[in-house]
Amino acid sequence: MAIDASSVGFLAAFAAGAVSFLSPCVLPLVPGYVSYVAGQSAAGERDSLRTLGLSLCFVLGFTTVFVAFGAGASALGFALLAHREALNLASGLLVILFGLFTAGLLRPAWLQRELRWHGDPPGQGPVAAYLLGTAFAFGWTPCIGPVLGAILAVTASSAAGKGVALLTVYSLGLGVPFVAAALFLSGFVARLRTLRWFGRALQLVGGGVMVAMGLLMVTDRMSAVASLLVEAFPVLGRIG
């Protein structure tokens, strides 16, 4: 198996999805999204099976969009294969920028703008939940956008063509806690303050990891470090 950034990146992609879920741009909105998806208020009685089905439709909605982004990033990487060195440098610098922003050390105004659909969901039911998920994915928030952008940059700079797989894993990292929150909403709401603190700590760590990855990409040391990780943790070589 070829050793590259994407070969050891699936765990990181899942963790990035979880960090996105716990981010201050998403976490406080989860009860509202759950209420929209389930079609009932957060305090109302809900059918667990119905809630599970509708929340999975919501997750499938944003997964569809993210996977399409991943496929596009892979296609871009293949199209620019002849310019791999320049693409790797540009992608690394972009990942560093996103990492500094995620950690809160850099706050350019153009990244802090929020572009997101704020309308009511188009009715209720599985189709409405799916469409709401796609609308969620197409928006830009200062928390999700940079993390997603960093994953796409890494994907585009890699010749492995694993954009679809990486973005599927990222969507799982974002989707699994959403489904759990939908099924156990009252407990989730009660722990929002603790989760916000934990999410901020994860953002700092995640931002540092992104900066480190960007530096490895710029210096063309990503494959070497990936090989060392596989040697130290052989299980990583069986992921992907």
Question: How does DSSP assign 18-78, residue by residue?
Answer: HHHHHSTTTGGGHHHHHHHHHTS-TTS---HHHHHHHHHHHHHHHHHHHHHHHHHHHHHHH
Convert the pLDDT of each residue in 157-188 to its tens digit: 765 567 888 899 999 999 999 999 888 887 88
Q: Report the distance separating Cα 33 and Cα 219, nearest Å.
A: 41
Cα 196 off chain centre by = 17
Convert the pLDDT of each residue in 80-112 to its tens digit: 777 778 888 888 899 899 889 888 887 777 666
Secondary-structure breakdown of the chain: helix, strand, coil percentages, each rounded to the nearest 5? 75, 0, 25
* CB within 8 Å of 150: residues ≥ 6 apart: 16, 94, 95, 98, 99, 210, 213, 214
Q: What are phi and psi of 109, to 5 degrees?
A: -60, -35
How many CB atoms sit inside 10 A of residue 1's CB?
8
Convert the pLDDT of each residue in 115-168 to its tens digit: 666 556 556 788 888 988 998 888 777 778 888 888 888 888 765 567 888 899
- Indicate if the pLDDT at residue 228 is higher than 70: no
